[in-house]
Structure 1
Amino acid sequence: MVRAGLTTERLVRAGAELADEIGFDQVTPSELARRFDVKVASLYSHVKNAHDLRTKIALRALEELADRAAAALAGRAGRDALVAFAGVYRDYAREHPGRYAAAQLRLDPETAAASAGVRHAQMMRAILRGYDLAGPDETHAVRLLGSFFHGFVALEAQGGFDHSSPAAPESWARLLDVLDSLLHDWPRP
């Protein structure tokens, strides 16, 4: 029998909140069942297993991040779009560390193709059109931006910039200037 009020949406939302509190790697059906004061078996009417729960949290995080990025990009182009997009990633990672980690979960190809991850790539490519990049160079640039955003926020979250000057926000702004310049002067084969 399904406990009244327990839905997939409620479980995923609670799982995402739990990820922010204790870390995405620590979210399990057992932890979630404790939060709802139910037996683990009660969850299996809504999620198949731990992997399914983690996947649903990842999909939610990708959707939230894509929605924020789309709102931030509206009406922007070039450097302004790059800075807005980057800021969304950094802010989301800081506000929702567990959900941000969930967004990095490797999804199977079919799930990935149906996820908001596709929107992320489309938005990055839209930003890069302002830099006149196409084909393989556009793909290289998407990978560069993703590596920079994720690398910086991961190092910052782990305290990697806490012991030196200038402060991380100053480096972030300066490095976005460098990325903008690099994208404008992208080396042509």
Structure 2
Amino acid sequence: MVRAGLTPERLTRAGAELADEVGFDQVTVSALARRFDVKVASLYSHLKNSQDLKTRIALFALEELADRVAAALAGRAGKDALAAFADAYRDYAREHPGRYAAARLRLDPETAAASAGVRHAQMTRAILRGYDLTEPDQTHAVRMLGSVFHGYVSLEMAGGFSHTAIDSQESWAWILDSLDALLRNRTTP
């Protein structure tokens, strides 16, 4: 008999919370069953396996992050939009480290195409329209911004900037200023 109240959505949300607590790599169907004090087998009527659970958490995190970024971008353009996007991304990673890790999960092409990952790319391209970039520079810029944001956030979360007297927020602002200047002054050779 399926325990009342357990649904794929509730399990996904609980899995996302668990990821933030113990790390995304530690999330399993067994760990989730312990959280609900049920037998593992009772979750298999809602989930296929641990990979299905991880994929659901990844999709949840991508959607949650896309909603947050969209709200931050509303009514903004240029450098203001760039900073709002970057700050929303960084804040989400700091507040939800397990979900952030989940959002980095490699999805199969069909799942990825139907995910909020597409919204992330569209929002990044919308920001870049304010910089008047054409292809292929726009694609290069999307990749650059994703790499810089993810790289900085990953290093910061791993404690990579804790050994210096310069505040990481100061470096973050410097990076955003530099990215804005680069995008504004980019000329195609």
1:72 paired residue number: 72
Q: What is the number of residues matched between the two proteins?
A: 189
Alpha-carbon distance between aligned partners in 2 of 1:128 and 1:165, rounded to the nearest angstrom? 33
1:117 paired residue number: 117
2:14 paired residue number: 14
Alpha-carbon distance between aligned partners in 2 of 1:26 and 1:157, rounded to the nearest angstrom? 18
Shift of the alpha carbon at 1:2? 1.1
Alignment partner of 1:135: what SS? coil
Moved segments of 4+, more than 4 Å: none
After superposition, the C-alpha distances for 1:36-77 in whole angstroms (9 at most, x for unaligned) are: 000111111111011000000000000000000000000000
Structure 2 alignment gaps of length 5 or more: none
Amino acid at match of 1:55: T
2:25 paired residue number: 25
Q: Over aligned residues, Cα RMSD in angstroms? A: 0.6
Shift of the alpha carbon at 1:187? 3.4
TM-score by length of 1: 0.99
Alpha-carbon distance between aligned partners in 2 of 1:80 and 1:67, rounded to the nearest angstrom? 18
Alpha-carbon distance between aligned partners in 2 of 1:46 and 1:144, rounded to the nearest angstrom? 39
Identity %: 77
1:48 paired residue number: 48
Structure 1 alignment gaps of length 5 or more: none
TM-score by length of 2: 0.99
Map 1:104-143 onto structure 2 (within 5 A). Answer: 104-143=104-143
After superposition, the C-alpha distances for 1:73-130 in whole angstroms (9 at most, x for unaligned) are: 0000000000000000000000000000000000000000000000000000000000
Shift of the alpha carbon at 1:155? 0.2
